[in-house]
């Protein structure tokens, strides 16, 4: 019994001595190379377990965060919708600003004319052959029939119908529209008629007139329906036939009539009614 106890104490002492030697040699750095080799399988297993644990922790975190994330997603979606709406509004404001600034530039360049800005409320006529637009200004705003309507890019048309708060504008592209025009460079005159497209036709240009592509056509003011000097369009082609007494030209308006949003009504222009002279001419011989 005594022998066994002494052996056990000896065993304990040997074990503790081994442990202390290990600590001392390890502390001295002698075991560093061996530790690296022995630790290799341990590190491999640890690495595997660590990855698995981290994945599990991530999944656990995600699952515990699901309600929070769902709320976050809902909040973000709501914010996104709000910001998209604001963005659309801001884009509209920017477009309006751009348009209005161009109109302001146009009005500042044009002297002796008073303008009233109006929003286009309808870009097309309910009857397809007719080329009209509707604007949100009427008699309450001083609009009368015959007033010219322009944009910064040139002539749009004339007021043909007026109500208290809206007006209809007959576009220069309408087939019933005929206005007197003049080539800006040569000062040759002609009559510009609509063709139901952005292309207009300038007729009755004298044969000796030198018309070139790119020439600017402006209103001449003849006939008293429109003020002189408003840009109508640009010559895109010239037609000259030997058997005709006049030459024609295709004129393209710079305006896109399908996308008009804001126009200017020239409010200080009063069309001249020339029919008075026609009547007096007819009645003069008899009187």
Partner 1 sequence: MGTFLSLPIMILVAALQVTVMPQISLWGGRPDLVLLVVVSWALNATLEQGVLWAFVGGICKDLLSAAPLGTSLIGLILIVFAIHTVRQQLFSVGIFTLIWVSLIGTIIQEFSILIVLLFSGFQPQFASQLGYGIMVDQFRLFIVPTIVYNLIGIVPIYLITRIIQRAVGTNLRLTR
Binding site for partner 1 (CB under 8 A): 8, 11-12, 15-16, 18-23, 25-27, 31, 35, 38-39, 41-43, 45-46, 48-50, 52-53, 57
Distance, in Å, from the CA atom of 150 to the CA atom of 171, rounded to the nearest integer, reads 10
CA 245 to chain centroid, in Å, comes to: 46
Q: Which lies closer to partner 1 via its Cβ, residue 52 or residue 270?
A: 52
- Say how many residues make up the chain: 287
Q: Count H helices, E strands: the chain?
A: 4, 12
Shortest gap between Cβ of 44 and partner 1 (angstroms)? 9
Shortest gap between Cβ of 3 and partner 1 (angstroms)? 14
Q: Which lies closer to partner 1 via its Cβ, residue 46 or residue 85?
A: 46
Shortest gap between Cβ of 49 and partner 1 (angstroms)? 4
Q: Which lies closer to partner 1 via its Cβ, residue 41 or residue 286?
A: 41
In sequence order, what DSSP letters do the residues of 107-173 get, joined into one string?
HHHS-S--EEEEEEEESS-SSTT--EEEES--GGGT--TT-EEEETTEEEEEEEEE-SS-EEEEETT
Shortest gap between Cβ of 2 and partner 1 (angstroms)? 15
Shortest gap between Cβ of 43 and partner 1 (angstroms)? 8
Q: If we measure between CA atoms, which residue out of 120, 158, 122, 121 comes closest to residue 266? A: 158
Backbone angles phi, psi at 233, to 5 degrees: 175, -160
Q: Which lies closer to partner 1 via its Cβ, residue 44 or residue 97?
A: 44
Q: Which lies closer to partner 1 via its Cβ, residue 16 or residue 175?
A: 16
Shortest gap between Cβ of 41 and partner 1 (angstroms)? 6
Angle between helices 66-109 and 32-64 (to 10 degrees): 70
Q: Which lies closer to partner 1 via its Cβ, residue 17 or residue 80?
A: 17
């Amino acid at each position: 019994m005594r022998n066994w106890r002494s052996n056990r104490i000896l065993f304990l002492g040997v074990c503790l001595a081994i442990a202390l030697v290990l600590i001392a040699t390890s502390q001295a750095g002698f075991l560093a190379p061996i530790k690296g080799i022995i630790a290799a399988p341990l590190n491999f297993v640890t690495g595997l377990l660590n990855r698995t644990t981290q994945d599990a922790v991530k999944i656990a975190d995600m699952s515990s965060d699901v309600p929070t994330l769902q709320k976050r997603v809902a909040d973000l979606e709501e914010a996104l919708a709000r910001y998209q709406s604001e963005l659309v509004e801001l884009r509209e404001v920017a477009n309006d600003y751009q348009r209005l600034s161009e109109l302001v530039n146009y009005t500042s360049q044009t002297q002796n004319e008073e303008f009233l800005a109006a929003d286009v409320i309808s870009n097309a006529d309910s009857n397809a052959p007719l080329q009209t637009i509707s604007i949100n200004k009427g008699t309450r705003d001083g609009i009368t029939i015959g007033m010219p309507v322009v944009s910064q890019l040139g002539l749009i048309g004339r007021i043909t119908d007026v109500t208290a708060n809206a007006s209809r504008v007959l576009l220069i592209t309408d087939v019933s529209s005929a206005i007197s025009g003049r080539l800006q460079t040569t000062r040759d005159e002609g009559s510009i008629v609509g063709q139901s497209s952005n292309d207009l036709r300038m007729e009755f240009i004298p044969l000796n007139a030198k018309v070139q592509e790119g020439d600017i056509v402006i209103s001449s003011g003849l006939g008293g329906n429109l003020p002189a000097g408003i840009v109508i369009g640009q010559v895109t082609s010239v037609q000259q036939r030997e058997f005709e007494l006049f030459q024609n030209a295709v004129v393209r308006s710079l305006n896109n009539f399908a996308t008009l949003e804001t126009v200017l009504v020239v409010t200080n222009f009063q069309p001249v009614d020339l029919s008075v002279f026609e009547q007096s001419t007819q009645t003069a011989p008899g009187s």
